[in-house]
Amino acid sequence: MEPLAVAGIRLGSAGAGIKYPDRRDLVVIEAAAGTRAAATFTRNAFCAAPVTVARAHLAAASPRYLLVNTGNANAGTGQQGLADAEASCRALAEQTGCRPAEVLPFSTGVIGEPLPLARLVAGLPAALATLRPEGWRDAAQGIMTTDTRPKWATRRAALGGREVTVTGIAKGAGMIRPDMATLLAFIATDAAVDGALLRRVLIAAVADSFNAITVDGDTSTNDACVLLATGQAGVAVPGAGAGHQQFTAMIREVCIELAQAIIRDGEGATKFITVAVEGGRDTAECRQVAYTIAHSPLIKTAFFASDPNWGRILAAVGRAGLADLRLERVAIHLDEVCIVRGGGRDPAYTEQRGQQVMRRPEIAIRVELGRGGAAARIWTTDLSFDYVRINAEYRT
């Protein structure tokens, strides 16, 4: 389904030659006056210059423009990087008549090289000239670096008697150029949402989507996710009740669809793996077990090989660091097949049944811890020859 336009949002893009010639590498997203925004950023202590600047600008003003470049992450660039990010915002502000603090900058690409500011600024008029409400698809293409396909998600539903639209785009953790896992996601709605509520909705949606995926555990320096609410649909999202639930669900669905698209396009991925951990004492320990499984190179290579090597999953659960874990209460399923029960291989399990499941392109591991009522679910990829090839290729 093509991305639906969101009233109050226009998108433009251009090729500014930031790293390569003839490549769309500059995207401008314009939000109508009165738009509210919420954002989440990387928790990497070494965040990139644009992340620092975007955080500061967001605290000072409501954004009118998101300015995104690919080809250069402007990370590990020190004071010069901060100055460059600020300068890019000033340049866009001058050309559009807004204040610099009303521009949020985002960069993705190689770490540690100076941002080619002059080329970026020179590309702005062309990007602004293409601003249009239908620009979502081109923008999705424009923020790609090494993704193999553009990613968007879109929903439209009646809310409070009006039609409300949510559309988002994202670029992925496909580090085909061996620099970093940069996740960028931009989502907009034409519903009117109070700033505090918008932030709450975004944080909840991100927790279940972008913060529930991993390719290799390498948190990027540039991750950012922005949610814009233009209010132009003429309907306000209430703080509670059915309308609130419905809106929250739309945002959540769009975020999950984008997050899953990132995993499906993960570097070298041949399998889409859901890791669900249930019966934990709290969500934190369920996530701990899920990530231990999702980051295990042994499990990831076994999935690549379609090898039902359940001992590796058992061993990962065992080393996840849970105190007082009772082995005899743990059960592990691959899709519908129980592989481990009571601390050992399920009596009904056969290698053939395990093999059957492992050949599927989408597989769910379900771990029952048997010690509480909490659960968590994340998505990940396998570890293939292509992962190594992609990330071992030199940066030229």
Catalytic residue set: 182
| Contacts (CB under 8 A) with its own copies, residues 222-281 | none
By CB under 8 A, is residue 388 in contact with its own copies?
yes
The amino acid occupying position 126 is A
- Both structure tokens of 298: 């042994």
Among 312, 333, 353, 366, binds its own copies (CB under 8 A): 312
By CB under 8 A, is residue 369 in contact with its own copies?
no
CA 314 to chain centre: 29
The amino acid occupying position 203 is I
Residue 87's Cβ-count burial label (10 Å; 0-12, 13-18, 19+) is middle
Residue 84's Cβ-count burial label (10 Å; 0-12, 13-18, 19+) is buried
Residue 345's H or E segment, with its range, is: strand 344-345
Number of residues that bind its own copies (CB under 8 A): 64
Per-residue buried b or exposed e for 231-267, using 16+ beta carbons within 10 Å of the residue's own CB:
bbbebbbbeeeebbebbbebbbbbbbbbbbbbbbbbb
How do strand 224-229 and strand 184-189 relate by DSSP bridges?
Answer: parallel
Q: Sign (positive/negative) of CA torsion 195, 212, 10, 153? A: negative
Q: Which is nearer to its own copies, 43 or 97 (CB)?
A: 43
Span of 76-84, 135-143, 250-258, 274-282 interacting with its own copies by CB under 8 A: 76-84
| Contacts (CB under 8 A) with its own copies, residues 103-142 | 110-112
Nearest to 44 by CA among 287, 208, 223, 180: 223
By CB under 8 A, is residue 76 in contact with its own copies?
yes
Contact between residue 125 and residue 2 where contact means Cβ atoms under 8 Å apart: no
Span of 15-23, 43-51, 54-62, 139-147 interacting with its own copies by CB under 8 A: 43-51
**Interaction pattern, residues 321-360, with its own copies; x per rule: CB under 8 A:** -x--x-x------------x-xxxx---------------
By CB under 8 A, is residue 361 in contact with its own copies?
no
Contact between residue 251 and residue 166 where contact means Cβ atoms under 8 Å apart: yes
By CB under 8 A, is residue 197 in contact with its own copies?
no
Among 83, 315, 364, 374, binds its own copies (CB under 8 A): 315
Among 94, 134, 218, 362, binds its own copies (CB under 8 A): 218
Q: Which is nearer to its own copies, 95 or 219 (CB)?
A: 219
* Residue 111 CB, nearest approach to its own copies (Å): 3
Using CB under 8 A, list all residues that contact its own copies: 43-47, 73, 75-78, 81, 110-112, 175, 178-181, 216-221, 295-298, 301-302, 304-305, 307, 309-312, 314-320, 322, 325, 327, 340, 342-345, 383-385, 387-389, 391-395
